[in-house]
Amino acid sequence: MTPQPILVSLSPAGFAASKQRLVSAGVAVPDGDSGSLAHEGVTVACEYNGTDTLTVSVTHKPGFVSEGFVENKIREWFAEAVTTGEAQCHSQTLKRSL
């Protein structure tokens, strides 16, 4: 089963803040608005539309880690990364109560 993309409602300022937080944590961040990120065995593809939506797709995860665990970590990360509360995560797989 292919995980559903996670859509993050995110302003340009929130996107910039999120990228900076990743850099500060030692994660290699691609230039521009799209690319892949890898951390602790999980790889995601990200694409920002430049105005209000970041699409995050999990492309690889360890077999012993559930999709729900990865989704929760992504959701928590954006809640912490964008302290203004302007980041909102949405996806069909995130509809369940987390």
CATH value at residue 47: 3.30.310.10
Domain hosting residue 57, numbered range: 6-94
- For residue 90, being part of any structural domain is answered with yes
pLDDT at 1: 55
Q: Are 37 and 21 in contact (CB under 8 A)?
A: no
Point out which residues pair with 58 in neighbouring strands: 44
Q: Are 70 and 59 in contact (CB under 8 A)?
A: no
- For residue 1, being part of any structural domain is answered with no
pLDDT at 87: 52
Which residues, at least 6 apart from 72, have a Cβ–Cβ distance to it below 8 Å?
Answer: 98
- For residue 63, being part of any structural domain is answered with yes
pTM above 0.85, yes or no: no
- Pairing relationship of beta strands 42-48 and 34-39 according to DSSP bridges: antiparallel
pLDDT at 73: 86
Split the chain (98 residues) into runs of 10 and give each run's mean pLDDT.
78 87 89 92 93 91 88 80 56 38
The count of structural domains within the chain is: 1
- For residue 57, being part of any structural domain is answered with yes
